[in-house]
Amino acid sequence: MKKCKQLGYRSFVTLILSFFALTISAQTVTVSGNITDDTGFEVIGATVIVEGDATRGTVTDIDGNYTLTDVPASGNLQISYVGMRTQVVPVNGRTTIDIVLATDTELLDEVVVVGYGTQKKVNVTGSVSAIDSKSLESRPVQNVSQALQGVIPGLNLTQSSGVGGTLDSQMSINIRGAGTIGSGSNSSPLILIDGVEGNINAINPADIESISVLKDAASSSIYGARAAFGVILVTTKSGKSGKPSISYQANIRFSDANQVPKMLDSYRFAQYFNEAAINSGQGAIFSEEALQNILDYQAYQNGTFTGELTDRNRDAVMYGTTAGSNNRWLLYGGANANTDWFAEMYRDWVPSQEHNMSVSGGSDKITYLISGNFLDQNGLIRHGKDNFNRYSINGKISAELADWVTLNYSSRWVREEYSRPSYMTGLFFHNIARRWPTNPVIDPNGHYHEGNEILQMRDGGVDKSEKDYLYQQLQFVFEPVKDWYIRAEGNYNTINRFNHWDVLPIYGYDTNNQPFAAPWQGGDAGKSNIYEGATKDNFASVNVYSDYTFSLADAHTFTVMGGTNIDLMKTRNLGGSKQDLITPLVPTLNTATNPTPSISGGYGHWANLGFFSRLNYNYKEKYLFEANVRRDGSSRFVGDKRWGTFPSFSVGWNMAHEDFFAPLADKISMFKLRASWGQLGNMNTSSWYPFFLSMPVSSSAGNWLVDGRKPNISSAPGIVSSLMTWETIQSWNLGLDWNSLNGRFTGAFDVFNRTTKDMIGPAPELSSILGTGVPRVNNADMESYGWELEVNWRDMIQDFSYGVKLVLSDDQQRITRYPNDTYSLSTWYNGRMNGEIWGYTTEGIAKSDAEMQAHLENNRPVWRSNWAAGDVMYKDLNGDGVVNNGANTLDDHGDMTIIGNSIPRYKFGVTLDAAWKGIDLRVFFQGVGKRDYMLGGPYFWGASGGMWQSTAFEEHWDFFRDEDNPLGANLDAYYPRPLFSGEGKNQYTQTRYLQNAAYLRLKNIQLGYTLPSSIVNKAGMQNVRFYISGDNLLTLSEITGVFDPELLGGDWGNGKLYPLSKVISVGLNINF
């Protein structure tokens, strides 16, 4: 009865209040109050708004007070502040509302993924950087690594030097700089996707939940011999219990070549080539008549041709070419068109698209996530087509089978398809610049002119590859006792690659409009060829490990972990090629008729076995300690070289938890000093069987025909060293993490030193009487040292929130032991810095022969002769009157000095973001603060080598011309006089032409708008965002205009590669 009464009373009050509320629902009140945090301090600048209406809001003043008018008496106030948990308080007609905001413990409870587990960020003692999925969102990138560049300090991503921006190119990745000199071993980081080795580029960026980078030995040593140079841990998204959540993302993008050279117009080109030929003692290449033809053609194109068209000049004037004696249209010196071959070969603003969809949800016991991705990326190639497609389906399911055991299963399938013209190799990029602007694109009969690459690209066959990645993971997690976990997981990855490549015959047309078979690449006119190849990788990995966490006296917390890891990789491959297709329409092995196919097939394998354990200890999260040890055995080493043991230790001290820190405790919640030391081995030898002496044998591969056939060939094997063993990597790291102003200002700073001991170096230099390469041995040491800084600022001014993130890192490498007793400069020596550039000092370009003669008196180079006006004046630095490199040793380096360093320094990324009323803006700059580079070859020099290897771009027109030069004097030219011979006498590595390759690049800028939820909710959606995003839109660099500062290499020489793209994209994200 009593109970009933009480209920009645309450119901009554509620009823009354409800009634009251209804009656005043249209009323507004003015609310004021004071906001403090849970330690009693006033919160300044907290945002107070009427929930659901961001236009009505205010901020607390210096005493934490606020006043807000026109508040609906029945509404809610929403109070938010950085680092505090947002609160929503019903007004209920009150006019004074004081609020205590609680610290957002999520920030302090933030965990990061570490080796075989997770750790609270505040307790991490190694050097670990992590990002979440936000950094990857809405970037129109093709793969994950493109989005990671400049985001994590110490994680260096650079364009691979060989191929440039081709759709299948993958950036090269290292952590904290080069770890080896790359002769016989490599220092790539270990990339684990959900704990299993995988390809970071073959994963849909939208599936990624977070990425952790383990940089020092202490954090990576748990992975042993594969993790000597750091680990990248990719964690994919999992399902969350709750009602199904569906999301869809679409993106349309337009790509354009970021940086391609511009050729000189044909008239200036011809004059440039004449100049180079004459300077080299050869006759002019273009006669007066040829030059006139060039002008006539240009005039005709502009409609200003006033001459007479005759049989003799008609083709030249109208079409830019002339019939040659063998019924072929002439090119080069016999042609006079005006083509910029770079503009001809690339398309502008090529469209591509990407779509993502995911569904997730679940109950208390079972959660699931399914996601899919489709990318259709088109390349820039105009003639022919290059295209990249990716399809992926990812599924994850987690089921709690009992209180003490959970089953996780995930499967991820990714298909990549890439196709390009078979001709689109380094040779193509080499050749574009070798086609003279005088060559016409179209012959007078309207056909594409033979000999300009267009036919090969269009009709000469395609190279297609299809890769299927299937990753499967089955995991049991047992928890027999609270906080004792045992995890047993099996992983099986299979990667299938099929490659198809064909060469199809191409046809030019002669002057009688008759087709003729044209050479594809040399003496293969009319030939067809087909190659099919397949490889399969099977990678099995088993991890069994267990950890147990317990506390003593509520102060000492221990976690112990131990386990084992077994990896087995098996590969196989098959390939075959056959010539003479029945028809180019059916390019298959079955339809090729040549009786002698070329076939190959083989197998490979390696295995690794490791045992590891870890101990974590902390005292009240104030003093932290961690120790790891791992023992690894590798199939790549034999005998007593096989096994290695690798320990590491790290300590941390979170000063913010000390009593003496109390006065600052409200400002700084974490101030943690870290120190670590560890030792690791590197099993990543280039060869899987460095101990095996193999007989080089190839079938039907000889180029000396025997009985009309290619014979089998074999040759003498080199020498292998059975002494090869582990490289030992030792590193120490000092760090500081802080979290202050309630999470507004956070950051980390690390200093490191990493030594690679007993590195596999280029073999010791021995007399060439040996007759073969000297085997590499573990005979060198190097160190990499540097620092990293990450600073975050995040704040909110009313409903305008913004953030700044800066990452900055630097690393340098120095050789500390190397078997080079003479300190020869042609190889490494003890003390040599990685990337060191030795070169001559340039006095300038001689403006007259007299100036050159006077200069030569005391500064005569030992190479070449014929020094004249317009040549480079090299400086004699050691006063011996001649310019040379002495004995080319460190002691006697003649007039060479270290003039620069090609290693990128001060790599940085700056992210600025802001959001206001549903509008968001993100700007991301990335760059390199310091870098020198010496470029060579025709892209840099123009005339370089003989006539057929030279080219001429706009930049090259700035070459030396004396006062008498009919083209006009250019005494202050950048480039010396062009030469076709002279073995590059002006092109030695020197100060004048050393490039400053530092750059600042606007990597990404994006502007988004999220529709108000009031609108989207009506449509049954949770969230709708539109955005426009641009990549690589702006670059600041002092480097010569021919080059992209990120693309200085090239398989066939500097600059001869596929350009990077700038991309503009528009996209839509919807969540249901």
Partner 1 sequence: MNTIYKHFLLIIGVLVLSLTSCEDFLDREPLDQVGPNQFLSSESDLASFPINYYSSLFSTHGGWSTGIGRLDDHTDNQATSNPNLGLYEPGNRLVPQNGDLGFGNIRAFNFFLQEVLPKRTDNALSGNTLMIDHYIGEVYMLRAMAYFDRLKTYGDFPIVTTVLPDQEEILVAAAERKPRNLVARQIISDLDSAILLMQNGVSNKTRLTKDAALLAKSRVALYEASFLNYHRGTPRVPGEAGWPGASMSYNSGFSINLDSEIDWFLDQAMDAAKQVADKIELTANSGVLNPPSRAEFAGWNPYFDMFSSRDMGKFDEILFWRQYDLSLSITHGVTIYIERGANTGLTKGFVDGFLMKNGLPIYAQGSEYKGDTFITDLKENRDERLQLFLFDEDDPVHIKSDSAIFTAPLIINLQEVRDVTGYRSRKFMNYDPSEAPGSDLTATAGSPIFRAAEAYLNYIEASYMKKGTIDAVADRYWRALRTRAGVDADYNKTITATDMSIEALGDWGAYSGGTLVDPTLYNIRRERRNEYLSEGIRYDDLIRWRAMDQVKNYIIEGFNLWDEAYKNSIYTDPKPGEVTSAGLVDDGSSDANVSSRDLSKYLRPYQILNSSTNTIFNGYNWSEANYLAPIPFRQMQLASPDGTADNSNLYQNPYWPAQPNAKAER
Positions 845 through 904 that interact with partner 1 (CB under 8 A): 862, 865-866, 868, 884-885, 887-888
Strand 231-236 versus strand 190-193 pairing type:
parallel
Residue 707 contacts partner 1 per CB under 8 A: yes
Output the CA–CA distances (angstroms, integers) from residue 690 to 568, 591, 667, in the order listed.
18, 41, 57
For partner 1, give the closer residue by CB, 168 or 567.
567
The backbone region for 380, taken as left when phi is positive above 0, alpha when psi lies in -120 to 50, beta otherwise, is alpha
With b for 16 or more beta-carbon neighbours within 10 A and e for fewer, the 945-960 pattern comes to bebeebbbbebbbebb
Strand 643-654 versus strand 713-714 pairing type:
unpaired
Supply the minimum distance, in Å, between the C-beta of residue 698 and partner 1: 9
Supply the minimum distance, in Å, between the C-beta of residue 874 and partner 1: 14
| Residue of 50, 151, 214, 285 interacting with partner 1 (CB under 8 A) | 285
Cβ neighbour number for residue 475 with a 10 Å cutoff: 18
Q: Which of 865, 884, 867 is nearest to 875 (CA)?
A: 884
Sign of CA dihedral 934, 936, 940, 942: positive
Distance CA 955, CA 938 (A): 12
Positions 775 through 814 that interact with partner 1 (CB under 8 A): 775
Q: Which of 1062, 1060, 1027 is nearest to 922 (CA)?
A: 1027
Supply the minimum distance, in Å, between the C-beta of residue 457 and partner 1: 19
Chain mean position to CA 972: 39
Distance CA 970, CA 958 (A): 7
Binding mask 224-253 for partner 1 (x = CB under 8 A): ------------------------------
For partner 1, give the closer residue by CB, 40 or 879.
879
Q: Where are the alpha helices (DSSP H) in 74-181?
A: 105-109, 144-148
Supply the minimum distance, in Å, between the C-beta of residue 350 and partner 1: 34
Q: Which residues pair with 716 in a beta bridge?
A: none
Supply the minimum distance, in Å, between the C-beta of residue 576 and partner 1: 16
Binding mask 517-536 for partner 1 (x = CB under 8 A): --x--xxxx-x---------
Stretch that binds partner 1, among 96-104, 191-199, 687-695, 1011-1019 (CB under 8 A): 687-695
Distance CA 999, CA 174 (A): 20
Supply the minimum distance, in Å, between the C-beta of residue 695 and partner 1: 4
Residue 756 contacts partner 1 per CB under 8 A: no
Residue 597 contacts partner 1 per CB under 8 A: no
Contact 463, 419 (CB under 8 A): yes
Positions 542 through 561 that interact with partner 1 (CB under 8 A): 544
Q: What is the DSSP letter of 442?
A: B
Distance CA 916, CA 1009 (A): 9
Contact 946, 983 (CB under 8 A): no
Q: 3-state SS string over 310-334?
A: CCCCHHHHHHCCCECCCCCECCHHH
Stretch that binds partner 1, among 417-425, 621-629, 818-826, 915-923 (CB under 8 A): 818-826
Using alpha carbons only, what angle is made at residue 229 by residues 226 and 230, rounded to the nearest 5 degrees? 90
Residue 404 contacts partner 1 per CB under 8 A: yes
Contact 737, 748 (CB under 8 A): yes
For partner 1, give the closer residue by CB, 451 or 1050.
451
Residue 427 contacts partner 1 per CB under 8 A: no
Contact 755, 783 (CB under 8 A): yes
Residue 686 contacts partner 1 per CB under 8 A: no
For partner 1, give the closer residue by CB, 362 or 978.
978
HSE-up of residue 488 (Cα within 13 Å, Cβ side): 4
Contact 528, 584 (CB under 8 A): yes
Distance CA 51, CA 56 (A): 9
| Residue of 17, 662, 770, 1036 interacting with partner 1 (CB under 8 A) | 770
Supply the minimum distance, in Å, between the C-beta of residue 365 and partner 1: 19
Supply the minimum distance, in Å, between the C-beta of residue 545 and partner 1: 11
Distance CA 279, CA 985 (A): 13
**Residue carrying the six token digits 């999470």:** 743
Residue 270 contacts partner 1 per CB under 8 A: no
| Residue of 197, 256, 537, 765 interacting with partner 1 (CB under 8 A) | 765
Residue 357 contacts partner 1 per CB under 8 A: no
Supply the minimum distance, in Å, between the C-beta of residue 702 and partner 1: 5
| Residue of 151, 330, 780, 807 interacting with partner 1 (CB under 8 A) | 330
Q: 3-state SS string over 554-595?
A: CCEEEEEEEEEEEEEEEEEEEEEEEECECCCCCCCHHHECCC
| Residue of 190, 609, 1002, 1039 interacting with partner 1 (CB under 8 A) | 609
Positions 958 through 987 that interact with partner 1 (CB under 8 A): 981
For partner 1, give the closer residue by CB, 659 or 964.
964
For partner 1, give the closer residue by CB, 119 or 322.
322
Residue 607 contacts partner 1 per CB under 8 A: yes
The H or E element containing residue 6 is helix 2-24
DSSP sequence for 660-690: GGGGGTTTEEEEEEEEEEEEEEE--BSSS-T
Q: Which residues pair with 548 in a beta bridge?
A: 484, 560
Output the CA–CA distances (angstroms, integers) from residue 703 to 254, 700, 716, 918, in the order listed.
47, 9, 17, 69
Residue 333 contacts partner 1 per CB under 8 A: yes
| Residue of 594, 812, 830, 1071 interacting with partner 1 (CB under 8 A) | 594
Residue 283 contacts partner 1 per CB under 8 A: yes
Supply the minimum distance, in Å, between the C-beta of residue 404 and partner 1: 7
Please tell me the total number of residues recorded for the chain in this structure: 1072
Positions 639 through 668 that interact with partner 1 (CB under 8 A): 642
| Residue of 1, 4, 585, 769 interacting with partner 1 (CB under 8 A) | 769
Positions 308 through 327 that interact with partner 1 (CB under 8 A): 312, 316, 322, 324-326
Q: What is the DSSP letter of 521?
A: S
Distance CA 509, CA 927 (A): 49
Positions 574 through 593 that interact with partner 1 (CB under 8 A): 579-580
For partner 1, give the closer residue by CB, 67 or 699.
699
| Residue of 56, 121, 253, 328 interacting with partner 1 (CB under 8 A) | 328
- Token readout for 298 is 């240009």
Stretch that binds partner 1, among 154-162, 499-507, 547-555, 712-720 (CB under 8 A): 712-720
Residue 290 contacts partner 1 per CB under 8 A: yes
Supply the minimum distance, in Å, between the C-beta of residue 579 and partner 1: 7
| Residue of 39, 512, 590, 767 interacting with partner 1 (CB under 8 A) | 767
Binding mask 921-960 for partner 1 (x = CB under 8 A): --------------------------xx------------
The backbone region for 390, taken as left when phi is positive above 0, alpha when psi lies in -120 to 50, beta otherwise, is beta
Residue 725 contacts partner 1 per CB under 8 A: no
Supply the minimum distance, in Å, between the C-beta of residue 1022 and partner 1: 42
- Interface with partner 1 (CB under 8 A), residue total 107
Supply the minimum distance, in Å, between the C-beta of residue 727 and partner 1: 18
